[in-house]
Chains A and B, each alone.
Chain A
C-alpha cells in the first residue's frame, strides 16, 4: 500500500533558523496530514491539507502540496528548541482507503 517517504531522515539546525522537511508519495491522495512525535510516544496532529489545496498555514507552520509532483513540504519558521521531535506525514486515500499510512519520519533537532 501507499507510504510516504520523508526527506531528510534527520535535520539539525540552530534556534531561530527555519526547518523544511519533505514528503513524497506515489499514488493519488485525498489529503495529507503532518504529525509531530516527541520522545517516541504519541503523535500530535499538526495540520491537514486536502488534495485541492496548495498551501496552508498554522502559526509558525506552513505546509505546501504539489499533487503534480506528488510531494508536500512542512516549513517551521523561527524554530525553537521545543520543536525538537520527529515529524511524520500521513497519507489518506488512494490505495490506503480508510486509514492513514505513514513514512519513516524526519528527526528534527533544534540546538539552543
Chain B
C-alpha cells in the first residue's frame, strides 16, 4: 500500500477483555515495529520484526502482550485481559531493510481506551 495502515483507529474496550490491533506495512518493507505512547509521553518500544521473526521483543510490558507477523506483511498486536494502564496510542512503523539506517514510516496509530 501507499502507507502504513493501522486498524482500528480507535478502540474502547472493557477492562479484562482481549483486543487485537492490526498493522499493514508498506508493501515490500521487511522491518516492522510496534511502539506505545501514553498521553503526553514519548514513544515506548514494544517489539520489532524482521520478516516474520522478532529479534527483539524486549519492550513487551508483560505476558499479556503478544505479537505476530505473517507472510512478512501484516502484523497483529494482541493484548489479553486489558487493564486501564494499557490505555495509550499504539503506533506501528515499517521500513525497508533495517529501518534504523533509513528511517521509519509510521501509521496513524490505534488509540486504545480501557474503561
State yes or no: do A and B come from one complex. yes
Residue of A nearest to B41 (CB): A104
On chain A, the residues within 8 Å of B48 by CB distance are 98-99
Q: CB within 8 A of B45: which of A33, A92, A101?
A: A101
Chain B interfacial residues counted at CB < 8 A = 28
Q: Would you call the interface of chain A mostly helix, strand, loop, or mixed?
A: strand
Cβ–Cβ contact A45 & B104, under 8 A: yes
Q: Taking A88-B42, A98-B56, A101-B45 as contacts, is the C-beta distance between A31 and B109 under 8 angstroms?
A: no
Q: Which residues of A contact B91 (CB under 8 A)?
A: 42-43
- Which residues does chain A contribute within 8 Å of B37, judged by CB atoms? 40
User: Do the beta carbons of A88 and B100 come within 8 Å of each other?
Assistant: no
Chain B residues with CB under 8 Å of A102's CB are 35, 42-43, 45
* A interface list, Cβ under 8 A from B: 3, 30-31, 33, 35, 40-45, 48, 88, 90, 92-93, 98-105
